[in-house]
Amino acid sequence: MAELRAPSHLISLADLPPGHVADLLDLSMRLKNRPAKASLSGKTVGLLFFRGSLRTRTSFEAAMTQLGGNTINLSAASDFWELETAEGTIMDGRAPEHVKDAAAVLSCYANALAIRPKPAGASWEVDRRDAEIRLWARHARVPVINMESVLWHPLQALADLMTLRESLGELRGKRLSFVWTQSPTAASPAAVHSLLLAAVAQGMHVRVAHPAGFDLDGEVMSQAREAARASGASVETCANAQDGVRGAHVVYARSWHSLEDYGNPTLAASRRSRASGWTIDERLMALGEEAKLMHAMPVRRNLEVMDAVLDGPRSLVVQQAENRLHSQKAVLQKLLGS
Ligand code: CP
């Protein structure tokens, strides 16, 4: 397996050399099945959160501790000030420090920087470029790890692939359905984008079911179709949850925001309120092929997914969350191990 050498960044799974995802999954399984060694003793990862997290933060901290290293956690809400992102600007506004300087300085203290940026939220065309995390990657002198940007959530996708492999064994030819779910506070489509590309690369047949106006990013869909042609997989979309679930081996529930209404909260709320009935219940799940349920969490119970499904024997959601720990250990070991 080719080693990732600093500063190799992990912004999306596409940053990994061919074959690397499979190697990371094998290592994740080995790390899950045996006690961790202190392979990262003396190593530090800086975690920068520009918005909140429950799983990503705690699984990162636990992973580094169990590997003998440590983390420094910084929350933009309480620990530092606004950072300037514009290149070459006269800094006479609110931000007293530039990302360029913060990245260089933090690189002196940490062996990697993991970042969860906050999108500006005005324009999808602008935010989908992931300019903020790419700016950190340009100026950091250590690897930058994406803890969920606007477009990608590579760490979630690795944990999801690991969970799929544990549950289904060989993934080629298996059917994975992403089903949009209703929520007053929709999440980003990043986790779905990342797993969509990763799943078709593994040869899975993927269906995406959502109400009108909730299409995934067009360029990501094009990449997925191209990857599917190369791997013998398929990608299709449908406009109701029943067609989405029919015949699926795994139903991946997720509420993502409308990219059509991005930057317009009033239109977005109105569209969401019209999209009722997108709740995963036992009747819907029965249309699948003994279908398992996945969700990246946080999940709104009895709105996105009914209790009976979330707490039932086909639910993989806690296993998914646990696998964040093991798969992130694999990433950290590959990035930082000697
Ligand atoms: N799935 C996920 O990234 O969870 P958090 O937002 O809690 O980190």
Q: Give 245-294 as a DSSP string.
A: HTT-SEEEEE-B--STTTT-HHHHHHHHHH-----B-HHHHTTSSS-EEE
* Residue nearest atom 6 of ligand 1, based on CA coordinates: 53
Domain match, 132 and 21 both? yes
Instruction: List strands edge to edge, sheet with 292-294.
Output: 234-238, 205-209, 175-180, 250-254, 292-294
Domain match, 304 and 329 both? no
Domain match, 72 and 102 both? yes
- Of ligand 1's atoms, which has the minimum distance to the CA of residue 321? 1
Domain match, 121 and 78 both? yes
* Residue 7, pLDDT score: 62
Total domains in the fold of the chain: 2
Ligand 1 binding pocket includes 254 (Cβ within 6 Å): no
Distance 194 CA to ligand 1 centre (A): 14
* Residue 18, pLDDT score: 81
pLDDT class for 4, splitting at 50, 70, 90? very low
Ligand 1 binding pocket includes 56 (Cβ within 6 Å): yes
**C-beta separation of 313 from 290 below 8 A:** no
Task: Please report the DSSP string for 190-233 in residue order.
Answer: HHHHHHHHHHHHTT-EEEEE--TT-PPPHHHHHHHHHHHHHHT-
* Residue 187, pLDDT score: 87
- Of ligand 1's atoms, which has the minimum distance to the CA of residue 153? 3
Q: Is residue 7 part of a domain?
A: no
Indicate the pTM of the whole model: 0.96
pLDDT tens track for 23-68: 999 999 999 999 778 999 999 999 999 999 999 999 999 999 999 9
Instruction: Give, in order, the Cα–Cα distances in Å from 82 to each of 78, 85, 109, 214, 235.
Output: 11, 10, 20, 32, 41
Domain that holds residue 101: 13-152+324-336
Q: Is residue 6 part of a domain?
A: no
* Residue 5, pLDDT score: 46
pLDDT tens track for 62-103: 999 999 999 999 999 999 999 999 999 999 999 999 999 999
Q: Is residue 258 part of a domain?
A: yes
CA distance 43 to 6: 13
Domain match, 69 and 178 both? no
For residue 74, give the DSSP letter. E
Domain match, 241 and 112 both? no
pLDDT tens track for 271-321: 998 999 999 999 999 999 999 999 999 999 999 999 999 999 999 999 999
What CATH number is given to the structural domain containing 95? 3.40.50.1370
* Residue 154, pLDDT score: 98
Domain match, 214 and 329 both? no
Domain match, 304 and 186 both? yes
Question: What is the arithmetic mean of pLDDT over 136-140?
Answer: 97
* Residue nearest atom 7 of ligand 1, based on CA coordinates: 54
* Residue 138, pLDDT score: 97
* Residue 3, pLDDT score: 46
Q: Is residue 1 part of a domain?
A: no
Percent over 90 (pLDDT), the chain: 93
Domain match, 130 and 253 both? no
